[in-house]
Amino acid sequence: MTAIDPGTATEPAPIEKGAFDFDWNEAARRGGILALALAFVALTGMPNGLNDRLLIDPILSLGYLSLLWLPFAFGWLSGNEKVLEGMARTKRGLRDVVRGDVIGFVGGLGLSLLVILINAFDLRDPLVNWSPQTLAVLQFDRGQGFGIIAWPILGAILGAAGASLHLLPQRIRRATLAALATVLVFAIFETFIVDLFDFTEDLLYENQGGLKILWAIILFVVAFGASIGGAGRKVGQVRTNYQQATGSAKTTQTALYIFLASVAMIVIPMFTGKITQELLANIGIFLLLALGLNIVVGLAGILDLGYVAFFAVGGYTTAVLTSPNRGEDWPEWFPTMPWWGALMVTIVVAALVGLFIGAPVIRMRGDYLAIVTLGFGEIIRILFLSDWLNGYFNGAQGITNVPPADFGFAQVKGTDPRSVFYLVLVFAAISIYVSWRLERSRLGRAWMAIREDESVAEAMGINTVNVKLMAFVVGAVLASFSGAIFAAKVGSIFPTSFLILVSIIILVVVIVGGMGNIIGVIVGAAVLIGVLGGPKQPGLLAEFSEYKLLIYGALLIVMMLQRPEGLVPNVRRSRELHQEEFLQDAWLKGEVDDAKADGDEPNGGPEGALA
C-alpha cells in the first residue's frame, strides 16, 4: 500500500463548458426552494413590518433587505459545485452567471405568484400577513402588474450578481464582500453606532433613520480600499502567529491578549452611551449562564435542558434575602441582608438545589436525562408561581423592590447599566477562571472521560455519579451568580423571567459558540445575545425581536449542518465531529510510515476508526 501524497497530486486542467451547459433540473429545483423561502419570509411579515426601518435612505429598507439577500445568497451558493478530488473542475465563466440568473428568476416568479394569489384570494384568517400591507410592499406600491414583473427581474439580477462574485479574482471578491458587510453593519446597527460615537448621528444618518446615500458609498469605497490594502491579511497574520507560537511564547502572547481584552472591557463602557452599556450587561448575564452550562454540557456531556432552574433559584434567593416585599409567610427572624451577604447564601442554596435535583437525575443517561432536566426546569418555575408557595414568593406578582447591590463605594442597579456590567465582569472573570482550572484538573479529565464513554469511565474507577453531580453543582453555582446579579439589576423577580426559553437560548449560545471552549462561549454570547438579544432583552437587532426565535432556530439548523463544532470550536470536539476527515489526514500525513517504524500493521487508517 502506498500513501497518496496530497501535495504532489496535480489538479487536471479545468474543463470549459458552454454558457447554457449546466444541470437545468438542479437550477430549477434550487429556484423552487428560493421561491418557497421568499414566500415564507414575505408571509412572516418581515418585509411589511420592517419596511419603515430605512437602511440606506431612501433606496433600501430592512424589510426589503429581508427578501433581497436571499436571491443573492442562492446565486452565490449555486457557484459552489462539488468537485471530487482528482477530477477536473469546470472553468468559471458566463455559465455561472446564467445559472444564478435562472435560479433568481425562478425564485422571483414565486413572489410574482404570491402577489397574484394575495390579490385573488383572502387567506388572512390563517395567515395574518396575507394582507394589503404585505401586498403593497411586494408590489412596491405601484400596482399588481409592476409587482409581478419586477420580482423575476430583480431576482434574476441579484442571482446573477451573487453568482458573478465567483468570477472576480479572490482579492477583489473578498474586498467586495467586506465592503458590502461594512455598509450593512453601519446601516443595520445604526442605534448602536450612534450610541458609541455621538457625532455620527448627524454626519452619517438621515433624521428619519438610514444611512445617507453619499456616506453609504464612502463607507463602501473605504472598506473596499482597506481590504485591498491588506487589512484583512494583517489580522489573519496576527492569528496565524498566535496559532503557531509554542511554549513560553504562546503563554506570553495569551497573557498579552487576555490583558488587552480585559483593559478593553474595562475602558470601553466608560465612553459609550446607555444602550451599549445595557447591551454589555445583558451579554454578561447570559455569558455567566453559558459558562456554567458549558461545564455541564460541554465538559461533562450532561445535556441539561432545565438549566434555567438554577438561574431562577439564584434570582429568587437573592430577592427573598434583600427585598422588603418578599412575601408574608417568612418567619420574623428571617434576615434581610445586603446583596453581597445574600450572594453567599445564594451560592449555598444553589449548590444544595443542584445536589437535590442532580441526585435523582444524574443516574440517567442521554435522552432520558435531557427530558427529566427539562421537567425539573419547569417544576422549579411553577413552584415559584404556585399558590402553595404564594406566601413566600408572591406567585405571579413576583418579588419587587429588590434593592441595588450596595458596595459602599458603588451601587449596582438597573438604571446604571455600566455598574451592572462591571459587576458581571468580575463574576465572568471568576467563572472563566473556574472553568479554565477545572478543565485541566483531575475532575476535568474525569468529566471528559464520562463524555467520551460513560461505561468505560466507570470501569476505569471513576465514580460517575459523584463526578457528574459535581458538574451539576458547579454549573448551578455559576448560574446562581447570574441570578443574583439579575435580581439586583432588574429590581424585581417574576416567574415569567425563567421560562424554558431561557434554557434553550443558553444552550444555543453554547452550541453556536463552540461547546467545551471558553472563548467559543464568549463569542457565542456576544454574537447571539448581543446581536439578536436574550429571551426578553433586546439586542442590536431590536427590530427583529418579533422574529428572534425564528432566527435562532434557523441559525441553529444552519450551524448544525455546516459547522456543528461551533464558531470557535474546541479542538477535541471538532475532532469528534470530523473524525473521519481527521483520521484520513493523520493517515495521509504519514501515520503509515510511523506505524511501520514501530513494526506494526499499518491499520490505523480511516477504516480502523474508533466507534
Partner 1 sequence: MTRLLDIQGLSVTFGGLHALHDLNFHVDEGEIVGVIGPNGAGKTTFFNMISGMVTPTSGEILFEGESMIGLDPNQVTQRGIARTFQNVRLFANMTILENVMVSQHCRTKQGVWGSLFNTPGFQREEREIREHAEKVLGFFGTRLVGYRLEQPASVLSYANRRRLEIARAMATKPKLILLDEPVAGMNPKESAELTGLIGKLRSEWGFTIVMIEHDMNVVRDVSDRVVCLDHGETLAQGSFEEVSSDPNVIEAYLGRPLEKS
Residues that bind partner 1 (CB under 8 A): 433-434, 437-438, 440-446, 448-449, 452-453, 455-464, 470, 474, 572-573, 575-576, 579, 582-583, 586, 591, 594-595, 598-604, 608-611
Q: How far is the CB of 288 from partner 1 (least distance, A)?
A: 17
Q: Which is nearer to partner 1, 536 or 578 (CB)?
A: 578
How far is CA 565 from each of CA 517, 568, 610, rounded to the nearest angstrom? 10, 8, 19
How far is CA 273 from each of CA 180, 196, 340, 424, 545, rounded to the nearest angstrom? 27, 6, 27, 18, 21
Q: Which is nearer to partner 1, 117 or 609 (CB)?
A: 609
Give me the sign of the Cα torsion angle 26, 32, 37, 38. Answer: positive
3-state secondary structure 492-546: CECHHHHCHHHHHHHHHHHHHHCCCCHHHHHHHHHHHHHHHECCCCECCCHHHHH
Q: Which is nearer to partner 1, 484 or 583 (CB)?
A: 583
Q: How far is the CB of 496 from partner 1 (least distance, A)?
A: 34
Pair 111, 119: CB distance under 8 Å:
no
Q: Which is nearer to partner 1, 307 or 447 (CB)?
A: 447
Q: What angle do CA 34, 37, 42 make, to 5 degrees?
A: 125
Q: Which is nearer to partner 1, 1 or 610 (CB)?
A: 610
Q: How far is the CB of 347 from partner 1 (least distance, A)?
A: 13
Pair 17, 101: CB distance under 8 Å:
no
Q: How far is the CB of 451 from partner 1 (least distance, A)?
A: 9
Here the cell at position 86 is: 482528482
CA–CA distance, 31 with 149 (Å, rounded to integer): 17
Q: Which is nearer to partner 1, 402 or 469 (CB)?
A: 469
CA–CA distance, 395 with 493 (Å, rounded to integer): 10
CA–CA distance, 47 with 134 (Å, rounded to integer): 7
Which value, in Å, is the radius of gyration of the alpha carbons in the chain? 28
Q: How far is the CB of 405 from partner 1 (least distance, A)?
A: 24
Q: How far is the CB of 473 from partner 1 (least distance, A)?
A: 9
Q: How far is the CB of 489 from partner 1 (least distance, A)?
A: 27
Q: How far is the CB of 587 from partner 1 (least distance, A)?
A: 8
Q: Which is nearer to partner 1, 491 or 604 (CB)?
A: 604
Give me the sign of the Cα torsion angle 117, 121, 125, 130. Answer: positive
Here the cell at position 535 is: 429571551
- The residues pairing with 205 across neighbouring beta strands, listed in sequence order, are 211
Q: Which residue has the cell 433586546?
A: 538
Q: How far is the CB of 572 from partner 1 (least distance, A)?
A: 4
Q: How far is the CB of 31 from partner 1 (least distance, A)?
A: 42
Q: Which is nearer to partner 1, 396 or 460 (CB)?
A: 460
Q: Which is nearer to partner 1, 555 or 586 (CB)?
A: 586
Q: Which is nearer to partner 1, 190 or 565 (CB)?
A: 565
- What backbone phi and psi angles, to 5 degrees, belong to 61? -110, 160
Phi-psi group of 516: left, alpha or beta (phi > 0 → left; psi -120 to 50 → alpha; rest → beta): left
